[in-house]
Amino acid sequence: MPRITRDAEVTWEGSSAKGRGSITAASSGAFAGLPYSEPSRIAAADATETSPEELLAAAHAACFAMSLAAELTRDRTPPERLDVRATVVVDEVEGQGHRVVASELEVRARVRGSDDAAFADATRRADAGCTFSALVRASATVAIDATLEVS
């Protein structure tokens, strides 16, 4: 299989407590100069800057959506629409500092011709096939709450 590489670049200025960084998608150019800082990373969710954890949440939501679309297509019931929310949780673990302890997925799917049992099976396979789920599961919890909507 082909090897695919994707790059990102960061410039950081100053010490961590008062410093600031900026994040650029170097491969695609899809985003550039996203600001982040320590306060935005640990503050309440009303921060106006991004953080590594928000980027991981975006990666997981996108990865899982593609994986589930693939599995439903394999079952000959391609989805009309999938809505996936990923929430990455960081907590201080005694003796280990800050750790990603969980990534929680909430999925709503509109799929013609599927049923609850088939959908649950496709969700399980999507989790196994999503590269990010597999990586996170090695050190943290991946929880999936998936709902099939009747269309």
- Smallest CA-to-CA distance from 107 within 93, 88, 87 is with 87
Q: How far is the CB of 41 from another protein (least distance, A)?
A: 7
Residue 143 lies near another protein (rule: CB under 8 A): no
Residues in region 34-63 near another protein by CB under 8 A: 34-36, 38, 40-42, 45, 47-63
User: Of the listed pieces 76-84, 112-120, 142-150, which binds another protein according to CB under 8 A?
Assistant: 76-84
- Strands 81-93 and 34-36 come out as unpaired
Rounded to a whole number of angstroms, the minimum distance from the CB of residue 12 to another protein is 4
Interaction of residue 23 with another protein, rule CB under 8 A? yes
Nearer to another protein, 73 or 147 (CB): 73
Does position 94 interact with another protein (CB under 8 A)? The reply is no
128 binds another protein (CB under 8 A): no
Applying CB under 8 A, does 5 fall inside the site for another protein?
yes
By the rule CB under 8 A, 16 interacts with another protein = yes
Buried b (16+ CB within 10 A) or exposed e, 53-87: bbbbbeebbebbbebbbbbbeebebebeebebebe
CB 24 within 8 A of CB 10: yes
Q: How far, in Å, CA of 133 to CA of 131, rounded?
A: 6
